[in-house]
Chains A and B, each alone.
Chain A
């Protein structure tokens, strides 16, 4: 391989340069008669390689940019976006937004965030750690990762490959209240997908690692071996009989359950009356041992941000205190619709964390006794209005606290309101690879359908 001339850390424009474009957009909106406006400009650059069976499969250089504006004429809004930062494009984009605002309705909930809530200072959260990764080095790492997976077990017969990626992005947001803030951040990752086969059907599984700093990534060999071990343990999967049983969601799957909870306490679901947790503020929605809190300013964490997508300062808070719902997940629009105040969640939650319990995974298996471990969920069978839940699943049958055999082609079903109340234990095995951080969740009395 020759070494290409482009690396991932190459040339993001300076933050000031983006801030100037945001200011141009705001000035142009004012010139075209908008009573207020907000704008954001983002740029990103990245490199990703994928190798398969020891050879490079793809080498991709990424470079993205976008400019988005919302204008307000009183309480009528129009939005527009473009990937072109030229002065002409700035004018055209603002014109498109203003033209749309002529046809939208006067909406009392519309408008910028309350100036009093905007971030006054923007602390450095240690999110920006460019990785000067040459393509050749990225390929070496991916090759090592995949090789460890292929060599880990003779039943690993095929591979979808291993990938290494690095990316850096910068976003500047400003509004006509005078707020202007920018943040740069990095995200690096490695993943491996392998196929196990012992003659009675193939099984595929994967593993990945991700972090703000390259030093936080797991070793390539560890990622490959973990992927292999996960694929091999699925060999010989079969259906089980239909019945009610406790189900242990591993952390990656438990994150989805918490995601369904967050979907139900989001402002947009609540003001549309499209949530199974309407009017639940102050109510017990989880058992007493479950606490959920948000930690937006954790240094280096993947979900950290000092201000949200509207410039509102983020802050620490407890969302569920010993089972009782303490607040919602709101942006300014949904907050006004509900007669409340934004919680700084325009764009989502920041490091929403389920307080870990005391049992590790083995301890949770013993606590469960007989039941099902769910390691994979498929499909979209979740009704956010009613909480009805029915998803395809794969995992392991457990008897007497021990794993008996792998299971596939089953579904798990229930109603989320009841499933949340039926959480018997939260694991100590906290997974921090995302904006929602949780350990395993042991849920009692779930309907499992199979034969």
Chain B
């Protein structure tokens, strides 16, 4: 969208009087022999949070941040400096610091600027202005009331609402001037229920690249309240989880965090270029059962992990990572793509102007398969049916990964029986998808709650999958 470049230029460059000539002067300082690539990442963001606790609107906060990150790349070396002032002297100083990565040399000059805004997956409107403050507070109160009305055992309710508006402009050494204006909203409900001295919690929420109307449409936010209460009450009944290796059926949607940890990180370009991923050098190999096709897709409208363009100005793509079990693609940013002789895939992301971009996931999911979800459960004699998860983690080198179930049930003789307490599941990334013997028809994406951390940088992501069965996974309960 051409219009995002106009919005971003007005917001980021014009206040400091920075025109095309000024940017060309910055690149003249930044570029030179030995520098292969360089970019400037201008960003201005606004963020707000509202918190209800104990029936009180306890907290409200507003934050603004802006700045510019300056990067120079020479081969596999990167020089980086940033400033929270978008003014010419700071840009020139940062350029001098960043370019020190390569030996000194002459100058290069941008020939002509090409403007672009990538896809049109969400509108540029500021979500913070999409609802009055009085209505935001009212929404929190209605969610609180909905949760409390569900059951007398509900004891504590905490609701948080947050919104973010991010304007970014990327100028690079090839003359690309690309912009994105990104809204992001999130609502979380956390509930504590008490019964006979036992206390248990439930957590639900969602969001995406929308205005706050996302939560009021069809009373979606009230649905989160009911879901959080349902989980808390269910946990009051949960028995000890089993310990040991057994078949595990994963429900659709958020359990896709399995894919994010087991294969997603291991297929990011940087780890494969360096040969430190358990998947390095395995393109073309069968790494999963033929039932498994996994994609990373930044092009889904309104999704939390979606981007019109990535943080290097590359247009978002949908990338097939695993095609019917065969490893066919990595996720790339510009630098790792160039060094590996591959194409960028729109996965260059960064937490902010103060961080370097690297290959990151967007929305990662497995396509639907041929099996009826109920048939999948019927096929298990003794195992676990896990439908909701907290987070996960992976060691990309050994391939070991974990993800923690917080809603799970025993499967006994083909039937879902009692709920069990939360337990961590552990497996090996390059092996686990080979153990997938059934894949359901019921693909779902998560509700919009994912945060991915890598090298200290957090970015919003999405995950999804249909119901699937892993024949053997180690379950970390306490019952032998």
Contact = CB atoms under 8 A, between A and B. Distances in A.
Interface in A1-53: 1-6, 52
B96 A390 contact: no
Contacts of B59: 77, 79, 104
Contact of A57 (B76, B85, B394): B76
A63 interface: yes
Nearest to B140: A103
A447 B100 contact: no
B402 A391 contact: yes
A341 interface: no
Q: Which of B50, B391, B426 has the most CB of A within 10 A?
A: B426
B62 A97 contact: yes
Nearest to B271: A160
Given A81-B62, A83-B66, A381-B424, A61 B97 contact: yes
Contacts of A3: 100
Contacts of B395: 204, 376, 378
Nearest to B404: A381
Interface string B72-111: 0000111111111100000001101110110110000000
Contact of A413 (B104, B406, B423): B423
Contacts of B65: 82-83
Given A4-B96, A57-B76, A390-B423, A160 B402 contact: no
Given A79-B59, A160-B274, A380-B390, A447 B423 contact: no
Contact of A100 (B62, B97, B392): B62
A448 B426 CA distance: 12
Contacts of B276: 158, 160, 195, 202, 204
Contacts of B200: 385-386
Interface string A94-136: 0011011111110100100000000000000000000000010
A73 to B, nearest CB: 12
B391 A379 contact: yes
B17 interface: no
Nearest to A272: B156
Interface size band for B: 35 or more
Given A63-B82, A449-B475, A379 B76 contact: no
Nearest to B79: A59
Nearest to A80: B62
A107 to B, nearest CB: 5
Contacts of B83: 63
A60 B101 CA distance: 10
Interface string B355-396: 010000000000000000000000000000000001111110
A309 interface: no
Contact of A392 (B100, B356, B424): B424
B77 A449 contact: no
Nearest to B90: A63
Contacts of B82: 61-63
Interface string B391-421: 1111101111111101000000000000001
B222 interface: no
Contacts of B402: 378-379, 381, 391-392, 411
B63 interface: yes
Interface string A394-435: 100000000000001111111100000000000000000000
A78 B58 CA distance: 9
A5 to B, nearest CB: 6
Interface stretch (A147-155, A174-182, A237-245, A314-322): A237-245
A283 interface: no
B476 interface: yes
Contacts of B77: 55-59
B474 interface: yes
B275 interface: yes
A40 to B, nearest CB: 13
A209 interface: no
A260 interface: no
A80 B63 contact: yes
A298 interface: no
Q: Which of B192, B395, B398, B476 has the most CB of A within 10 A?
A: B476
Contact of B80 (A61, A84, A158): A61
A64 B84 contact: yes
A449 to B, nearest CB: 4
A83 B47 CA distance: 13
B60 A103 contact: yes
A198 interface: no
Interface in B170-210: 192, 194, 199-201
Interface residues of A, number: 81
Contacts of B244: 242, 449-451
B422 A388 contact: yes
A244 B243 CA distance: 10
Nearest to A161: B274
Contacts of B54: 272
A57 B358 CA distance: 13
A383 interface: yes
B158 interface: yes
B56 A381 contact: no
A273 interface: yes
Nearest to B138: A103
A410 B428 CA distance: 11
B425 to A, nearest CB: 8
A203 interface: yes
A245 to B, nearest CB: 12
Contact of B66 (A84, A234, A451): A84
A104 B58 contact: yes
Interface in A203-255: 203-204, 234, 237, 239, 242-244
A338 interface: no
A63 B475 CA distance: 45
B358 to A, nearest CB: 10
A359 interface: no
B424 A391 contact: yes
Contact of B476 (A60, A62, A385, A449): A449
B67 interface: yes
A376 B76 CA distance: 30
A65 B199 CA distance: 42
B57 A84 contact: no
B354 A64 contact: yes
A274 interface: yes
A288 B21 CA distance: 72
A93 B47 CA distance: 13
Contact of A78 (B60, B274, B475): B60
Contacts of B428: 409
Contacts of A100: 60-62, 133
B398 A60 contact: no
B478 A204 contact: no
Contacts of B133: 99-100, 102-103
20 contacts: A6-B97, A59-B100, A60-B81, A63-B81, A82-B63, A82-B64, A82-B65, A100-B60, A103-B134, A160-B274, A203-B397, A203-B398, A242-B243, A273-B156, A392-B476, A409-B474, A413-B423, A448-B243, A450-B474, A451-B245
Given A105-B58, A378-B395, A390-B422, 7 more contacts: A4-B100, A52-B274, A61-B94, A99-B62, A378-B400, A383-B421, A447-B243
Interface of A: 1-6, 52, 55-65, 77-84, 93, 96-97, 99-105, 107, 110, 135, 158, 160, 195, 201-204, 234, 237, 239, 242-244, 272-274, 376, 378-381, 383, 385-386, 388, 390-392, 394, 408-415, 447-451
Pick the 8 closest A-B CB pairs, nearest first: A411-B476, A392-B402, A4-B100, A100-B60, A379-B402, A204-B397, A449-B243, A381-B424
